[in-house]
Amino acid sequence: MLRILGLDPGLRHTGWGLIDKNGPRLSFFAAGVINPDEKQTLAERLAELHTELKKIIETYHPDEAAVEETFVNKNPTSTLKLGQARGVVILTPALFHIPVAEYTPNQIKKMIVGAGHADKNQVDMMVRTLLKTVPENIPPDASDALAIALCHAFMRPGTFLERSN
């Protein structure tokens, strides 16, 4: 079995989602969101992000990780801060010797929905369709992280979804 950690980086909300790949079959395992305290300094928020990701990795022991690549915002300051959060999100699994793959938002959407310009609702619907046991109350950032993990799983040869009869 292979456990894949999907990560949707953000300074305010970082989504994480774990799926299991057992042979060619994929299943939901866990998901959530890290919400660093916005009253903290940038350095403190990045440290909190690292600490929380470290706890997730130590608790669930993923074998591989996948991270969404940063897109450029209109606001360069926001883009730089997102890049710093993304650096922490890439670094933390790497410190545990977990391979980290990166995918663009369009790659993820195309792999999950079939269209590179799908909206968040379409991605969420397909995540729930593909992973039938995803809880109803899962936050959007966690759903996005599951989509990233699914994209990574689909990029691996011999993966298909278990269909219920």
Marked catalytic residue, from 8, 52, 64, 144? 8
Following CA atoms 46, 51, 56, 62 in sequence, which dihedral angle do they give, to the nearest 10 degrees? 80
Please say whether the structural domain 2-155 has been given the CATH code 1.10.101.10: no
Marked catalytic residue, from 20, 52, 64, 141? 141
Residue 138 has pLDDT above 60, yes or no: yes
The helix/strand/coil state of 112 is helix
Strand partners, 19: 4, 28
pTM of the model: 0.92
Do 33 and 142 touch, CB atoms closer than 8 A?
yes
Marked catalytic residue, from 52, 68, 124, 144? 68
Q: Express as a percent the part of the chain with pLDDT over 90.
A: 76
> Is 141 an annotated catalytic residue?
yes
Following CA atoms 37, 128, 111, 104 in sequence, which dihedral angle do they give, to the nearest 10 degrees? -10
87, exposed or middle or buried, with CB in 10 Å at 0-12, 13-18, 19+?
A: middle
> Is 68 an annotated catalytic residue?
yes
Q: Higher confidence at residue 78 or residue 36?
A: 36
Nearest to 13 by CA among 73, 82, 110: 82
